Structure 1
Amino acid sequence: MAKGHVMVLPMPCQGHVVPLMELSHRLVDHGFQVTFVNTEVDHALVLAAMAPGGGAALRGIHLASIPDGLAGDEDRKDLNKLIDAYSRHMPGYLERLVGEMEAAGRPRVKWLVGDVNMGWSFEVAKRLGIRVASFWPASAACLAIMLKIPQLIEDGVLNDKGWPERQETLQLAPGMPPLHTSLMSWNNAGAPEGQHIIFDLVCRNNKFNDLAEMTVCNSFQEAEAGAFKLFPNILPIGPLFADGEFQKPVGNFLPEDARCLKWLDARADGSVVYVAFGSMAIFDPRQFQELAEGLELAGRPFLWVVRPDFTPGLSQAWLAEFQQRVAGTGMFVSWCSQQQVTPNPQTATLIRVT
């Protein structure tokens, strides 16, 4: 019999879905039943990308979905628009889903493990008598700088809109990486005119996080001792892996192209440049061509993840000609297993989204 029923809710972005799916597999390994809630759009992508027979490997994880509040043809790569919509519409849909599961005879949800960026869900959970654990999928240092926003405003480093008052490099605590005030994540995550949406979300989530009984982070003590000393209440549980053989589905939005692993094995150690910009980044044709030509001029083997929607309007004739020129050194895939590529001894350099 399962120890309890846990609902898991990621932010609707690939880099948030994967680590929470990995955590879900670990929860199942420890005897819990999990309901993993994606948006309807992401749910459809996950099902379509899953390898044949992948559903059987989900043992103990039930996949569910709710609307994100956007119309079917609206741009979900526009992070400002996506955040604004899901923050307003998803609370009601989540509460309805919990009621529907109970009415269908599913065990009552005892815990919500929710992405810090979905802080509104903590309020829904508390209203329904569900205990809350918040989850941060990235580095503890990144979470720490967001939790320190009130102090940074008080110290005059930021104004109350999140923009820097001073151009300087700061360090929150000994052992933590320095950060220039121009590089605050909420000021560099979307179009400038929508910055206030992301900054408001971060500030609201800081308050919602107080509703959680614990905060867990996909990092580890040895990597970020300074950040965990600054916030000793953040529990490191990373790095997360679903399984050592990489056989369990982790919620990819696109099918993984495993050919790149054999291609990597044929390259010299420490020689390959790995280029990947996640599930949200969009390049215009000029940016794509500049990066492509830079990789060609570098003369190093490279593995480049190019999603089908990565560069709308890119000349396919130009791309085909470029791929011919670099056929001996470059490989293009639409998606791959980052956890298998990055620790590979052939991988020397990463160019990726931050």
Structure 2
Amino acid sequence: MKNIHVLVIPYPAQGHVIPLMEAARCLTSNGLKVTFVNTEFTHKRVLTSAHSEIDCPSGLMQMVSIPDGLEPGNDRNDFGKLTKAMFQLMPAKLEEIINDINKNDDQKITCIIADCYMGWVVRVARKMSIRLALFCPSSAAVLAVTMSVQNLIDNEVINCSGAPLKDQMVQLSPTMPLMDPANFLWVCVGDAETNQIIFDFAILDGKEAAEASDHIICNSSMELEHGAFTLFPKMLPIGPLLATNKSTRQVGHLWKEDSTCLTWLDQQPVCSVIYVAFGSITILNQIQFEELALALEDTKRPFLWVVRPGTSGSMDYVYPSGYMERIGTRGKVVSWAPQQKVLNHPSVACFMSHCGWNSTMEGVSNGVPFLCWPYFADQFFNKTYICDIWKTGVGLNKDGTGIVTREEIKSKVEQLLSNNLIKENASNLKEKVMDCVQAGHSSNKNLNKFLDWVKEGNDHARVNESCQ
């Protein structure tokens, strides 16, 4: 009997790999076979992390890799260079993998699920006559911007190169929040050259793929983004995926988790800990790092702080003199944390976050209020959702020199933790979002609809073969 075999390919960044891995586990838990394609660089890091074992039915998930086009010593945080290199090399390499798999008639690829920022995959799918679905690892609203690029050009919000033409807020539809064109995904990723590459290779290709794909599945829920899903009904919210896979461990991390922080959390009072984590990419300069360190000290509250180890494109920070001795056991600093477990811990009072979509979904799913400190790309819009739409957090503001001062941080911590309305909003939103993944409810229905589509494609393939 021929297996239903799905090939899954994420953009090679942790915020993309983790949710697509969760989506892949949804497929395997429903009996589908998955080949998960990472770049060689990401593949090695995932397999050497603490959670490299994939919790899924035996034999239904295989991890493979293809080169990304960069040399071993190149900086993978240079998204412009990485995106351009992938576009040039990876299509041919992906074809090779598919051709190799398809040599076994019982294992042929039924469909491809590609990250929506890997839009070039649409041309591989067309060439090989394989059905395509997209996966959106960011908010649906951010993908809605990509799908609205031509309208934005026609309305002279941006030019044909993606550069903003108007210094004013725009609204994709009356049911969606206002957006600042200066914060569109491709405008605030890096320097002008990087932004242009992202627009040309990720956004425009992503728009083409979105229009050509049969389905677009999103790690979101109707409760969170009703306006975006109403504007583009083709997008199916199936999240939060971590709630769907709550009985299994999160996978796809590029750093080893330090689980000692969970023991430390067990020793802290309920709703007392400030959890500070800025994801896998955010880089603070030394001055900002010291301001944050001193602010956490000045709050007099327990805090858990994730400080990534120095990596390419990053730096090793120097703590203020005598800092570790002064904070003692009141503060816990780790290189990487099991974030889902941390946010689910009763000791955590709030989440100081860069507002990446995964972190946003995890915080929302656990009813934790946010202190928002976006760094780049879609994070600025996610802050809008948190602070202005859902009203589950407050933003941290920079001073005239571009620094978030210790006084600002301390003040906002006190403001957030004394605001019962924000806490209540966060708790209510958690209840609504978690309800979406229950049997018969919106995200669960959409997941089943998508699974039916995948299986239907396999039936069509059998019919076609029998007629040959």
Instruction: Output the TM-score relative to the length of structure 2.
Output: 0.70
1:148 aligns to 2:154 (yes or no): no
The amino acid that maps onto 2:263 is: K
1:138 aligns to 2:133 (yes or no): no
Matched residue, 1:215: 216
CA spacing shift, 1:261–1:315, aligned 2, 3 Å? closer
Matches of 1:251 and 1:264, distance apart in 2: 24
Deviation of 1:2 after TM superposition, in Å, equals 6.8
Matched residue, 1:348: 350
Do the aligned partners of 1:219 and 1:236 also contact (CA within 8 Å) in 2?
yes
1:258 aligns to 2:265 (yes or no): no
CA spacing shift, 1:87–1:24, aligned 2, 3 Å? same
Larger deviation: 72-81 or 192-201?
192-201
Matched residue, 1:158: 158
Aligned length: 351
Structure with the higher fraction of residues in strand conformation? 1
Deviation of 1:312 after TM superposition, in Å, equals 4.4
CA spacing shift, 1:192–1:338, aligned 2, 3 Å? farther
SS at match of 1:64: strand
SS at match of 2:77: coil
- Per-residue CA deviations over 1:67-95 (Å, capped at 9, x if unaligned) read 00000000001111111111111111111
- Per-residue CA deviations over 1:150-173 (Å, capped at 9, x if unaligned) read 212211222222222222222323
1:196 aligns to 2:196 (yes or no): yes
CA spacing shift, 1:268–1:182, aligned 2, 3 Å? farther
Matched residue, 1:338: 339
Matched residue, 1:94: 94
Matches of 1:96 and 1:159, distance apart in 2: 37
Give 1:31-46 correspondences, 5 Å limit: 31-46=31-46
Matches of 1:175 and 1:206, distance apart in 2: 21
Deviation of 1:255 after TM superposition, in Å, equals 1.7
Do the aligned partners of 1:302 and 1:329 also contact (CA within 8 Å) in 2?
yes
- Per-residue CA deviations over 1:177-229 (Å, capped at 9, x if unaligned) read 32222222211112333210111121221012222111111101111111111
Deviation of 1:32 after TM superposition, in Å, equals 0.4
Q: Which runs of 5+ in 2 are unaligned?
A: 356-378, 380-468
The amino acid that maps onto 1:88 is: Q
Do the aligned partners of 1:282 and 1:309 also contact (CA within 8 Å) in 2?
no
Give 1:1-354 correspondences, 5 Å limit: 3-51=3-51, 54=53, 57=56, 59=58, 60-103=60-103, 107-200=107-200, 201-241=202-242, 243-247=245-249, 250-309=251-310, 312-314=314-316, 316=318, 318=319, 321-345=322-346, 346-353=348-355, 354=379
Matched residue, 2:455: none
The amino acid that maps onto 2:111 is: W
Larger deviation: 187-196 or 83-92?
187-196
SS at match of 1:46: helix
SS at match of 2:8: strand
SS at match of 2:102: helix
Deviation of 1:104 after TM superposition, in Å, equals 6.4
Deviation of 1:56 after TM superposition, in Å, equals 6.7
Matches of 1:286 and 1:227, distance apart in 2: 39
The amino acid that maps onto 2:8 is: V
Give % identity. Answer: 39
Which structure has more relative contact order (CA 8 Å, sep 6+)? It is 1
Do the aligned partners of 1:2 and 1:31 also contact (CA within 8 Å) in 2?
no
Do the aligned partners of 2:5 and 2:32 also contact (CA within 8 Å) in 1?
yes
CA spacing shift, 1:33–1:286, aligned 2, 3 Å? same
Task: Give the 4+ runs in structure 1 shifted more than 4 A.
Answer: 55-58, 310-313
- Per-residue CA deviations over 1:218-255 (Å, capped at 9, x if unaligned) read 101111111111111111111002632343x5211112
Matches of 1:58 and 1:77, distance apart in 2: 34
CA spacing shift, 1:143–1:110, aligned 2, 3 Å? same
Do the aligned partners of 1:284 and 1:312 also contact (CA within 8 Å) in 2?
no
Deviation of 1:16 after TM superposition, in Å, equals 0.6
The amino acid that maps onto 1:277 is: F
CA spacing shift, 1:329–1:179, aligned 2, 3 Å? farther
The amino acid that maps onto 2:75 is: D
Do the aligned partners of 1:122 and 1:132 also contact (CA within 8 Å) in 2?
yes
Larger deviation: 156-165 or 168-177?
168-177
SS at match of 1:326: helix
Larger deviation: 24-33 or 176-185?
176-185
Matches of 1:41 and 1:313, distance apart in 2: 20
CA spacing shift, 1:48–1:115, aligned 2, 3 Å? same
SS at match of 1:307: coil
Structure with the higher fraction of residues in helix conformation? 2
Matches of 1:279 and 1:269, distance apart in 2: 28
CA spacing shift, 1:48–1:164, aligned 2, 3 Å? same
Instruction: Output the TM-score relative to the length of structure 1.
Output: 0.91
CA spacing shift, 1:105–1:306, aligned 2, 3 Å? farther
